[in-house]
């Protein structure tokens, strides 16, 4: 079993528990009461490099990263630094995240929010909408067959923007066939957790010009951000480098200047 398979198995176990407490029809009712999701695409398409700043306590590859007692305060700093969107990890076993973190951040900032998780069911999309997310992550490697198309269609119906994540050429072809407008190239192989810093530069040319391209993983500072911008990135998604630094607002500003 790969690392990705193991994570998804845990996600499904935790999901079953939540669904037993709040069935999907009831969750849909609650989600319908939320304001319309924010559209992050104009900011992502604006001139310059945009930053998705991440609220991230832990990771499978690095373990504990940072104490984040107040995710809302961290998100507020990201917003002050000019983050175009804020990513909130909600997977609990490997990333020590939660939907409570997402709700706390939503109450604190008006910036578009990405629910960062391993989405494999409709229920999680409705959860994201109910918790105040504007974007959701769809990982091509975790969604075989028609599941990617099905969940993408449901996300669109809910008004959510999808960040479709790819790791290799075959997954990039699937994202293009899907018609994805926002594609993230993850330099971290989710089956082995190894990072290849050349992944974005290799895969980005395979994406249509109109697609907003996001570089993910392995971005340790402005030099990495500048490199990916030169390779065609419109957006960088940064977590570890921001949560481990002492001044997240300034760090986001510096990334944007790259």
3-state secondary structure the chain: CCHHHHHHHHHHHHHHHHHHHCCHHHHHHHHCCCCCCCCCHHHHHCCCCEEEEEECCEECCCEECCCCCCHHHHHHHHHHCCCCEEEEECCCCCCCCCHHHHHHHHHHCCCCEEEECCCCCHHHHHHHHHHCCCEEEEEHHHCCCCHHHHHHHHHHHCCCEEEEEECCHHHHHHHHHHCCCEEEEECECCCCCCECCCHHHHHHHHCCCCCEEEEECCCCCHHHHHHHHHCCCCEEEECHHHHCCCCHHHHHHHHHHC
Task: Evaluate whether 10 touches 18 at the Cβ level (below 8 Å).
Answer: no
Q: What is the pLDDT of residue 243?
A: 79
**Active-site position among 87, 171, 217, 240:** 217
Specify whether 50 is catalytic: no
Chunk the chain into consecutive blocks of 10 residues (it has 258) and report each block's average pLDDT, rounded to whole numbers: 89 95 97 97 97 86 73 95 97 91 97 98 98 98 96 98 97 97 94 91 97 95 95 95 84 91
Specify whether 173 is catalytic: no
Specify whether 62 is catalytic: no
Specify whether 253 is catalytic: no
**Active-site position among 91, 127, 165, 171:** 165
Total tally of structural domains belonging to the chain: 1
**Active-site position among 58, 59, 87, 186:** 186
**Active-site position among 54, 127, 130, 240:** 54
**Active-site position among 116, 127, 189, 213:** 116
Specify whether 122 is catalytic: no
Q: What is the pLDDT of residue 238?
A: 94
Name the CA radius of gyration of the chain, rounded. Answer: 17
* pTM of model > 0.85: yes
Specify whether 165 is catalytic: yes
Specify whether 181 is catalytic: no
**Active-site position among 50, 56, 59, 130:** 56
CATH number of the domain that residue 56 is part of: 3.20.20.70
Q: Residue 37: which domain range?
A: 3-257
CA distance 143 to 150: 10
């Amino acid at each position: 079993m790969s690392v990705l398979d193991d994570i998804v198995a845990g996600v499904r176990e935790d999901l079953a528990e939540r669904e037993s407490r709040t069935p999907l029809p009831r969750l849909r009712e609650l989600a319908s009461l939320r304001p319309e999701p924010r559209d992050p695409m104009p900011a992502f398409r604006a001139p310059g490099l945009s930053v998705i700043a991440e609220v991230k306590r832990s990771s499978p590859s690095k373990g504990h990263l940072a104490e984040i007692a107040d995710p809302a305060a961290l998100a507020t700093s990201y917003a002050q630094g000019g983050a175009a969107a804020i990513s909130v990890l909600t997977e609990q076993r490997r990333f020590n995240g939660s939907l409570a973190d997402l709700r706390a951040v939503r109450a604190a900032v008006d910036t578009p929010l990405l629910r960062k998780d391993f989405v494999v069911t409709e229920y999680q999309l409705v959860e994201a909408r109910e918790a105040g997310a504007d974007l959701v992550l769809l990982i091509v490697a975790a969604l075989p067959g028609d599941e990617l198309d099905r969940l993408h269609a449901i996300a669109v119906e809910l008004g959510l923007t999808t960040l479709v994540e790819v790791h290799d050429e075959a997954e990039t072809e699937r994202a293009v066939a899907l018609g994805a407008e926002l594609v993230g190239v993850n330099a971290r192989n989710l089956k082995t957790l190894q990072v290849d810093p050349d992944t974005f530069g290799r895969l980005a040319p395979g994406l249509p010009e109109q697609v907003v391209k996001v570089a993910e993983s392995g971005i340790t500072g402005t030099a990495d951000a500048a490199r990916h911008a030169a390779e065609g990135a419109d957006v960088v998604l940064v977590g570890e480098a921001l949560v481990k630094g002492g001044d997240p607002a300034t760090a986001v500003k510096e990334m944007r200047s790259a």
